[in-house]
Amino acid sequence: MSTAYLIHGTSSRDDDWFPWLEQAVEPDFDLERLYLPDPYQPVQEDWNEAVDEQIPAEDGVTLVAHSLGCITALRFIERQRISHANLVLIGAFDQPLPDYPELDNFMKPAPRYDRITPKVDNAVVITAVDDPIAPFENGRESC
């Protein structure tokens, strides 16, 4: 069985649809839902450290991420010496959110796509055209 790693956003590993997804992907994947510190007041350096501790930097890694977890997943790939990564990004954005200025510092610096895209074999980005939090255009630009 392959392992995939779920990086949540400003919620917990047990919120939203994450437990459902863990059951839905069995027996094809073992979905490891990460623990991220202070999800309602995230600090990028703390999240980066937590992700680095919980996800092996191995070729072929599969990351599933939601909301703020998407930019965290991209940064993980950017930092690591890996190749052949697989990404599923849900509610992705890579720009500050107008209604959430408290996350502006988390969004800086912008991901270096020139260092990320060569390492990714497969990517799926799922966004909603009517998402009230993360504008659709921000997800489209992160592709």
Q: Indicate whether 139 pLDDT > 70.
A: no
- Looking up tokens 């990517």, which residue turns up? 123
Q: How far apart are CA 63 and CA 79, in angstroms?
A: 14
pLDDT of residue 108: 95
pTM listed for this prediction: 0.92
Q: Fold for domain 2-141?
A: Rossmann fold (3.40.50)
The torsion angle over the Cα atoms of residues 48, 25, 23 and 134, rounded to 10 degrees, is: 50
Report the mean per-residue pLDDT for the chain: 91
pLDDT of residue 65: 97
The 10s digit of each residue's pLDDT in 40-62 is 999 999 999 999 999 999 999 99
The 10s digit of each residue's pLDDT in 74-97 is 999 999 999 999 999 999 999 999
Q: What is the mean pLDDT of residues 1-29?
A: 89
Per-residue confidence band for 138, with pLDDT thresholds at 50, 70 and 90: low
pLDDT of residue 11: 86
